[in-house]
Structure 1
Amino acid sequence: AMLAGGIVPVLLGLLIGIPAFKLRGAYFSIGTLALGQVLYVIVGNRWPLITSLPVKYLGSYSLAPRYYLFLGVALVTVGAAYILMRSRFGLGLAAIREEEDAAESLGVSARRHKILALSLSAFFAGLTGGAFAFYHVGYYPQFPFGPVWSFDAVTIAFIGGTGTIIGPIVGGIFYVVLKELLALRLVEIHLTVFGILFVLIVLFLPGGLVEAWQKVRDAFARRSGRPKVGRPLPQGEN
């Protein structure tokens, strides 16, 4: 079932992504967000054949198996991201991120790279969603199509640092811990406080917490007289 949860989103991602990638920038974001809202309404209110998943199909509640399930999915996802970032495909994505037109002029097919990246992200997102179904003993089918999860993913990436593997991990830990602490101590205004902190991070730490840590480390290295140590070049970059 979890494998199907990864494959079906790939097919849907291709169906949506091929026409959607004709849009660029904010138009692409708005278009895909609007499509998610359309699916939310259709699945939740307009499709009577789809109902909430009964508890008996999800098994009994137990923390340990779920922990190892999520840990396994996380390790597989991080490992795949590590391999992809150091492949020619990953270098092509990095070039497109920096300057799409320049990458195209060098022979990198931006459209093909984007569609493949969308398919891969859809697979791992679907795989995670299949695991997440075991986290909820009762489940409403329209819930995954709402904007909350999409915003959470973007927020976590910006907080930790985009373009890195460790960034989303750090951002996820920071996001969950801080959100829960604020919800406990500042019940009525915790969302406002969190929103302000997020805006401050985006404005003053555009590279996220990972970049901030690197700047602090480099500052201490300069004070101690040690040379700045950069990231070693992966195969294909040198």
Structure 2
Amino acid sequence: MSNIDKFKKLYNFEFEKIKTGSFEEVSEKYLATYKDGKEKGYTPVFLTVDEYLLKTFEISMKDENTDNMIDIFNKNLEKAKNINPIELFNKFIEQNADSIKSNVNEDFTKNNYEINDSNKNNLKFLTIFNNEGNLKDNVILVKVPTIKPYEILAYFGMGSEGIATVKYWYEKYGAVPAAITYDEIEFYVERPVLTFEEAKKLAIEQYAFCYGLLWECYDTLDELASAIYKNVHWYFWWS
């Protein structure tokens, strides 16, 4: 059975297999589908349906003693309702004060970096292409039946704290999960951060959400803040 067929057994969602396209064509397709979804009551997301993603679904179902991913969706979404992400961020800051301080320059401003904003309004998906710039196998664009984009992550197995965090970011910034692999998420951000002070605060929140952002993707929180600033694209990688 192919990976796509295995996915179809788990989810009765409409989807389209993406077979070819440049970075620009894929982004244009996403934005057009996102607009269509707002009118028709769904939210699109790219999934790379490889053996690793399917394995994460299998592990999630085994841990929850179910053979239905929708059971996990309902459970985690309900638990997320009682979680305050601000409290999560404050707890993280308290527990990681030394690490945060060592990765922040108190005198840092956007003028410390030569920040090129020219590409930050261009949505460019990275996770669905390989290192040679070719589209990966088994990439699909799924029409998830929800008008609440943060619920996408609940459908695909994210825990309640992550769901609560992404709900908060969606309400504040219009941050929408747009591409998912087994260890990466890319967001399309409708209302990006427009002040550098806000970007520095958000950098700490993103560090709390994905601890591996530092060292794996960025050297410091200041560098992460410069990437967030005015950007319609966010990237997370759990290595």
TM over 0.5: no
Higher helix share: 1
Q: What TM-score range do you get, normalising by the shorter chain?
A: under 0.3
Q: TM-score, normalised by structure 1?
A: 0.27
Q: TM-score, normalised by structure 2?
A: 0.27
Larger radius of gyration: 1
Higher strand share: 2
